[in-house]
Amino acid sequence: MRDDSTYTDVFMKPAPLVVSAAICLAGMIPSDLHASDPLVLARDGRTPYVIVIGRQAGPALKVAAKELAFFLGRMTGAVFPVRSDEAAISDTEIVLGDTDRRKIDELPPYLRTDNWEGFAIVREGERLLILGNIPRATLYGVYDFLDVELGVRFLAHAVNHVPRRPVLEVPVTSRVYGPPLERRTIWEGGLLGDATRRNRMNGISFQVLDEKTLGGVKMIGRPTHSFQAFVPHENYFPDHPEYFAFIEGQRRESLRGIITQPCMTNPHVQRLAMDMVLGWLEEAHQQNPYNKYVVSVSANDSPWHCRCEPCLAINLEVPAGRRCGS
């Protein structure tokens, strides 16, 4: 990880791209013992804390540990060592991901979420644990902790606001978070670089951040206007004009130089589309198991929708302001 952070005085807090909210739990919980006392992570350039990851930790957890050590060091001037869980247990640890200290499925229900990229930040006495449902979720939990609890701001690639804290006291209590938006990306440009990952994005336009190491939510197949990929006019219209839009008394391949939409009430069209989607998914499922795949099922870039009786009957059931080709 490059030492590329800059330090700036930011008086207007930038709006975060992903907002996390602490969950207030009714009453104290065992993992929050002494939670009224802040964790003293560092003082005068020294820290008693180590960062712990599992001995079999993969790339996402290694990045999480390196990033946490980097930013904590920038804030305090202290060196936060990274250790595997083979090291002796101590009270002053920041534990990332599943280890022999704790696994996420051992947490109580109020600290669990079934959100794919959800994570919990757990206080156990002087120990802090950040546990995600998948390794990349733990990485997002680290960035969330740096943002929400510590005030680090990831402004752009190679530009961060990192507050200096010679004494780093953190009044942290246990909380759980599941991102409400499954696919978080910026169409073009945007943050790019490290800032994309640090702001908990899981894609860049139609692609994932780093498929081989981190994964993400990935578009497969044709990204938009996919009906033409499912039922190509050139393949099917000569033998099956009934697959395509009925307009002005006849089935049409195109009108005024623009291709038509398929006839979506035709069961063969529906089957062709489903087979294509399943084929794309079958081809992709052997890739990174921490990827999630999104297939676009969307109309052609055309105003010419089918007006056969079954299609028109369904279309007329839709509120007028949302009808296609009515």
In SS3 terms, 60-103 reads as HHHHHHHHHHHHHHHHHCCCCCEEECCCCCCCCEEEECCCCCCC
**CA pair distance 141, 178, nearest whole angstrom:** 10
* Domains defined along the chain, listed by start: 30-190 (3.30.379.10), 221-322 (no CATH)
The three-state secondary structure class of 122 is strand
Say what the pLDDT of residue 295 is.
86
In the chain, alpha helices (H): 59-76, 135-144, 193-198, 227-230, 233-236, 267-284, 309-316
At 243 the pLDDT is 96
What pLDDT is recorded for position 17? Answer: 32
Taking a C-beta distance cutoff of 8 angstroms, is the pair 249, 267 a contact? no
For residue 74, the Cα-to-chain-centroid distance in whole angstroms is 26
Q: Which residues of the chain have pLDDT under 70?
A: 1-36, 188-191, 206, 208-209, 211-213, 287-290, 318-326
Distance (Å) of CA 222 to CA 11, 124, 160: 44, 47, 36
pLDDT of residue 122: 97
Task: Kindly give, in sequence order, each residue whose CB lies less than 8 Å from that of residue 19, ignoring residues fewer than 6 positions away.
Answer: none
Which pLDDT score is estimated for 19? 31
Beta carbons of 129 and 101 less than 8 angstroms apart: yes
Please state whether beta strands 50-53 and 82-84 pair in parallel, antiparallel, or not at all (unpaired). parallel
Q: How far apart are CA 255 and CA 249, in angstroms?
A: 13
pLDDT (0 to 100) of residue 231:
93
Mean pLDDT of the chain: 84
